[in-house]
Each structure stands twice: as structure tokens, then as C-alpha cells.
Chains A and B, each alone.
Chain A
Amino acid sequence: MKKKVLIFGMSLLLLLTGATGVFSAEKLEIGALYPISGSLALLGEESWRGAEIARLMRNEAGGIAGKEIVFVKGDASTVSAARSEAERLIEQQKVPAILGTYSSSRCMAASEVAARKGVAYFELGAIANAITTRGYNTIWRTNPTAADFSKAQIAFITEWYAPKLGKKPSEMRVSIAHEDSDYGTSVADSFSKMAEGAGVKIVSVEPYAANTSDLSSVIFRLRKAKPDIVMAVSYANDAILLSRQAYELKLKAPILGTGGGHSLQSFVDALGKEANGVLNVDFTQYATNENFAPGLKAFLALYKKTFNENPRSGHSLANYMGANIVFDIIEKTGGSFDVQNIREAAMAMDVPAGKTPTGWGVKFGEDGQNVKAMPLVTQWRDGKLVTVWPEGAAVMEPMIDQ
């Protein structure tokens, strides 16, 4: 009797392990590392949603090389958590590649872990330049960099705004207000350098802590500097605070944000009609010319179907586009995550601009950066964030009150 039970037990065990063995062979696991708790949870989760939609769609269409894609989630709630979660995903969960991360500082930490272990890392949303300039050959980034943001801002100021004011680019006065972590500082630095190169005058630079509860001193300094336009690098709460206090304390110059906080729904919820006219340079948003970003409306419909609400920002769209590129690459390697294979497949890719839902083209440089990704200039108009520049992508003309 005992023997029978034992045999039965053994065969059951065999059956189970055998079954799971077959099951896992059909799955293709990828680490998905985003800040889904902590202070960056909102946009971290928003970013993940985009990748998640891409995954669901791809699985519906048959997966990659016949295998179902599965995300193993990691929570990069802080920089050190990003490091330990990358470690955990690679060592314990044995994922062969990681995608993420939304936050630049978390990406820097996590991708370093991946690079040391020779695991491919795909960045779909963080913009710090340094991510792809550290000499690692295991990192690919689909989204535009901080330098691309600066380039777009300066082009907008010199090509559109300066002629509007009847000024030469060299006569433009620009102030910078930025939060003083890695993100704000690196974006402000790269903007300053590029502005100098374009002959635009930076009249003041105001760093501040993003978690502050008062920005009146920043506004007073800006009022003293008398800029034509204020270039701002902010997270969510400080973006609201800056515009609120700029209005209260009567700062005349328009604000040109840099991604992040200025494009959130909560920004317009907090400021109401005073948000009107605030400009921003960001990833592709939802009111963009469909001819420039084919598939945009389809994504929006998918998003509403999957999450029962409208996207909170364009981060999900950028991650959707990026995750699809990652899946295309892995499709080409036949499901292999070998870094050399990925490199060959990635380098061979060439998608012209205007063919993806973000409008970005795809062409990876030697450093793993997608050189055909570009941010757009958007503006809040009657509670909606619309793309206003450059012309091909715009649905409206920019408007600045004099």
C-alpha cells in the first residue's frame, strides 16, 4: 500500500514538473522594471501600462517566435531598490533581459547591474544623456535623450518664438528653473551648453528642490531677470507650484516645460484655466497629427479598453512604441537574448520617422541610442494638451500672449 502511494506520488510529481517544464518552454520572460511605488509611482505605472499593452497585443498576435511573452515585474521605488531589483530579476528570476525604467537615476543604477552581468537592458522612457554614453554595449534606448529635448526647445525658441517677437536669436533672453536632482541638473546643463552654441542668452539659472512647498523665491528671481521665456525642468508637484505661484506673483514670461510634470492631467486639474498657454517639450502626446503618428488613435482605444480610463500622460505611448521595437528585435533574433544577436538585429533596423505611433523613426547608433527619436512641443489649450510644433506633427499653431 505504502509503495503504491509512493509510486502514485512520484508519478504525480513527475507529471507536474514535466507539465511545468513544457509550459515554461512556451513562455518568454522579460523583466519589467519601473517605479510602481514611492514618489515616482504615478508615471512609473503609467509607463508600465504602455509596455503591458504592447505585450498583450503581441501575445494576441501569437507572441514572439511562437512563445508567449511574460513580464516579471520589479519595483524600482528608489535608486537602491532599482539596483537590488535588477539583481533579483537577473539572479533569482533568471530573466534574460530587462526593459523599463521611466526614471533616469533608477535606469542608471539598474542598467549598470545588467551590464555587469552581460544582460540586455532596454530603456523606453528615461532621458538622461549618460545612460547611453557610459560605454556599455548591453543597453538600447528607444526614446529621445535630454540633448534631444534641449535641441527641440532651442529650435522652437529661435525658429518660432524669436521671429514672433521680432528679435534675432542672439537677442533672446532665456531663464532656466530646474529641480536640482540628476534629472533637472543634467537637462539644464545640456540646455545651457546648446543655447550658448546657438547664441541664445541664458540670463539666469534657478535650481530648487522638487519636494519644496514654496517656490516664491524662484519667481522673484525670475522677475528680476526679466526673461522672454522660462525654460523649466520639473516633476509633477513642483510644476504645478511653479505655474501657480508664477500666476499669483505675476511673472510675465511664458513657461516652456521639459517633459515630466508639465504634461500631466493633474497639472491642468490643479490650475484650471491658468494652465492655458503653458508650453512643454515632451514625448508624443495624444493630440498629435495622425499622419505623423499612425496608430495613435488605435493605441488610445486599446488603453481605454485595457485600463478603463484615459492615459495620464504620453509615457505609456512612448513605452508602447518602445516595447514593440524590443519585441521586433527579439523576433528577429528568433527569441534569442544573446547580446551579440540583439546588437546585430538592432543595428539592422531602420524605420523612417512618421511610421510608428509616436512618430519616431528607429535607427540605433553604436552606443545603443535611437537617433531618430525626437520630442515635440505641446501646449495646454482649453484643458487639452495639443502638439503645436514642429509643423508636420502639430494640430494647432502655438499661441503666446504678449
Chain B
Amino acid sequence: MDLYAQVLVSGLLLGGVYALISIGLNLIFGVVRIINFAHGEMVMLSMYLTFWLNYFFGLDPYLSALIVLPVMFAFGFLFQLFVVQPILSTSATMKIFTTVGISLLLQNLALIMWKGDFRSVQTSYSMSSIEVFEIIISVPRLVAFGAALASIIFLYCFLKYTYMGKALRAIVEDHSVARLMGVSVEKHYLFAFGLGTMFTALGGVLLVPFSSVFPTVGITYTLVAFVVVVLGGLGSMSGTFLAGLFIGVVESFGGTFVSPALKEAIYFAIFILVLLVRPQGLFGQGKGTEEVGLK
């Protein structure tokens, strides 16, 4: 019995990490409607930044968020301005090619600059865990889980109560109508990409205490983030959180009780089934938000 509880807890913690990585993508994917295949590379860049800040200045990974987050906001902003904006009116295939290209470019730049070594930051809490009723909870993963929850609540309030947030939601629903209503769509795109990249960077920073950094670390996260965002529904922050947890728990139970080799296959199968029944995702806003960025 306690094995089930332990597997559930591990799955939830893993899901928290997935949700954290996916929040930023939901903003970018949901608002700007671009399939950003370089998403994982943004995780990778933030992880490297955190690593080097620790390496050269001995900065604690959690503290380095104060530097990494603004830097990555600027990165996202500039990325939108110089890479995405010029190709915004082209076909979806074009956007895919561009972002896949950027993703490869960033991976190989990282390889040239920082080599293929697997780098880790050792902190006092890296491998610490607490035990509740004989269930082991990893501390850094718990922190990531908490950060995911906090980010979701923050973004939920932001999207619901601020003008900027309302404008972003309007763009998600229909960007042409939003433009007619006087929303400066391009300006909001810049902000959305910056904000999305910043939350992605938060994920990267919080991964560092328990995950190694290497040039191709982002690849796994790109895929899982897309699954989480589409499953949760575009524009729905709570959907992203719940979908993240769902994927984490499915992976954990599938891996433990079916086979570790099949854990990814199981959640992809469920993902396809959900899309067949509810194309807008489990918590999507309904009709019109089901198109997966392919206009």
C-alpha cells in the first residue's frame, strides 16, 4: 500500500516539474500561436546560466533566479522581436523550420562554447529529502512543485485582473477581433514571449539542484511541455498545472507497474485519446482554441 502512495507522491512531484516547464510554453504557444521547438533550449540556456553563476560567483541556484529571470525575459523579448515577428505571417511549416533551426543552433552553440560535459551544481539540499509516514519527498523537487503552483496562481490572477492579462486572453481567443478592439497585438506578443521565457527560465533554474546540465538537456522537456500544454488547453493555466500532474502520475504509475521503457508511450497514448475526444484539451476555453498553432 505504501508503495502506491510513494509512487503517487513521486508522480505528483515529477508532474510539478513538468507543469513548471510548461507554463511559459502555454503563454507563448497560446498567445503568439507559434510552435516554438526551441522551448527546451530556453530551459537549457537558463540552466547553464544558473550553473555558471554558481561556478564563477558561488551563487546559490535559487538566488541566481534574481539574475537569470530578467536576463531570460530580455532574451524572449528579443527572440520575438528579431526571430518570430518577421515570420509571423508565414505558414506554420515555415515557423516550425525556423524554430527547429534555432533549437539546433542553440544546442550546437552550447556544445561549442561549453562542451558536451554533464555539469551539476552541488548544494547542501541537492539530495536532501523529508519523510512523511515513510513516504520520501525530495526537497528540491518539492520546491519546484511549490514554484509551479505559485506561478500558476500568479498568472491566473494576472490574466484575470490586469488589463495586460485581459488583452492577452483576448488575443488567445481571437487576435483579429482583439486588434479591432484596439489591442496592440504585436506589443503584447513581445511581452507574452518575454514573460513566457521568464517562467520557462524559472523552471530551468529550479531544475539545476537535481538535474545535470548539458547541451541537449532541453529535448525531453520540449516534447513533454507540448503534451502538457495541449492536454491542459491553450490559455488555461490551471489546465497546464493539472495536465502536468496528470502526466507525471501516469508516467510514475506506468513506469512502476507496467514498464519503465513504456512510461512515455503510455502518456502519449492517453494524450492522443484525449485529443480525439476533446481537441481543445481538458481545460481549454472551448471552440476556437483547439487549433494547435497551425493557422
Say how far A396's CB is from chain B's closest CB, in angstroms. 25
Chain B interface size band reads 35 or more
Say how far A126's CB is from chain B's closest CB, in angstroms. 18
**Contact, CB under 8 Å: A217 / B220:** no
8 Å CB contact of A269 from B17, B119, B255, B260: B119
When C-beta atoms are compared, the residue in chain B nearest to A235 turns out to be B118
A215-B211 Cα distance, complex, nearest whole Å = 12
A-B contacts, CB under 8 A, total: 113
**Contact, CB under 8 Å: A209 / B211:** no
**Contact, CB under 8 Å: A244 / B259:** no
Contact of A215 with B136 at beta-carbon distance under 8 Å, contacts A41-B111, A42-B116, A244-B127 already known: no
A160 at the interface (CB under 8 A from B): no
**Contact, CB under 8 Å: B260 / A206:** yes
**Contact, CB under 8 Å: A220 / B7:** yes
CB-CB contacts below 8 Å: A231-268 with B:
236-237, 240-241, 244, 247-250, 264-267
Contact of A213 with B220 at beta-carbon distance under 8 Å, contacts A45-B116, A180-B261, A207-B259 already known: yes
B169 at the interface (CB under 8 A from A): no
**Contact, CB under 8 Å: A207 / B261:** yes
A272 at the interface (CB under 8 A from B): yes
Say how far B249's CB is from chain A's closest CB, in angstroms. 11
**Contact, CB under 8 Å: B251 / A214:** yes
Say how far A242's CB is from chain B's closest CB, in angstroms. 11
8 Å CB contact of B127 from A45, A180, A208, A274: A274
B210 at the interface (CB under 8 A from A): yes
A224 at the interface (CB under 8 A from B): yes
**Contact, CB under 8 Å: A249 / B256:** no
B219 at the interface (CB under 8 A from A): yes
A312 at the interface (CB under 8 A from B): yes
A274-B126 Cα distance, complex, nearest whole Å = 11
**Contact, CB under 8 Å: B260 / A217:** yes
CB-CB contacts below 8 Å: B253-275 with A:
254-256, 259-261, 263-264
**Contact, CB under 8 Å: B3 / A224:** yes
Contact of A217 with B7 at beta-carbon distance under 8 Å, contacts A244-B210, A248-B127, A248-B138 already known: yes
**Contact, CB under 8 Å: B252 / A216:** yes
**Contact, CB under 8 Å: B251 / A217:** yes
CB-CB contacts below 8 Å: A44-70 with B:
45
**Contact, CB under 8 Å: B260 / A266:** no
**Contact, CB under 8 Å: B129 / A248:** yes
B6 at the interface (CB under 8 A from A): yes
8 Å CB contact of A221 from B10, B108, B220, B256: B256
**Contact, CB under 8 Å: B111 / A37:** yes
A218 at the interface (CB under 8 A from B): yes
Q: Which residues of B contact A271 (CB under 8 A)?
A: 127
Say how far B100's CB is from chain A's closest CB, in angstroms. 15
**Contact, CB under 8 Å: B263 / A217:** yes
A270 at the interface (CB under 8 A from B): yes
A112-B190 Cα distance, complex, nearest whole Å = 51
Q: Which residues of A contact B224 (CB under 8 A)?
A: 213
Say how far B236's CB is from chain A's closest CB, in angstroms. 24
A212 at the interface (CB under 8 A from B): yes
**Contact, CB under 8 Å: B3 / A211:** no
**Contact, CB under 8 Å: B127 / A247:** yes
Say how far A216's CB is from chain B's closest CB, in angstroms. 4
Contact of A42 with B221 at beta-carbon distance under 8 Å, contacts A224-B3, A248-B129 already known: no
A264-B116 Cα distance, complex, nearest whole Å = 12
A310 at the interface (CB under 8 A from B): no
**Contact, CB under 8 Å: A250 / B136:** yes
A93 at the interface (CB under 8 A from B): no
A244-B212 Cα distance, complex, nearest whole Å = 11
**Contact, CB under 8 Å: B252 / A217:** yes
A103-B256 Cα distance, complex, nearest whole Å = 30
A112-B287 Cα distance, complex, nearest whole Å = 53
8 Å CB contact of B212 from A40, A217, A266, A272: A266
A39 at the interface (CB under 8 A from B): yes
When C-beta atoms are compared, the residue in chain B nearest to A41 turns out to be B116
**Contact, CB under 8 Å: B122 / A272:** yes
A265-B115 Cα distance, complex, nearest whole Å = 14
Q: Can you list 23 A-B contacts (CB < 8 A)?
A: A39-B216, A41-B115, A42-B116, A206-B259, A207-B260, A207-B261, A211-B219, A212-B263, A213-B14, A213-B17, A216-B252, A217-B263, A218-B255, A236-B214, A240-B118, A248-B127, A248-B129, A248-B136, A249-B10, A249-B136, A266-B119, A267-B118, A270-B120
A contact set with B: CB distance below 8 Å? 37-42, 45, 180, 206-209, 211-218, 220-221, 224, 236-237, 240-241, 244, 247-250, 264-267, 269-272, 274, 312
Seed contacts A236-B118, A249-B136; 9 additional CB < 8 Å A-B pairs: A40-B116, A206-B259, A212-B264, A213-B220, A213-B224, A217-B263, A218-B260, A240-B120, A240-B212
The 7 closest A-B pairs by CB, nearest first: A217-B255, A42-B116, A270-B120, A41-B116, A266-B118, A207-B261, A208-B260
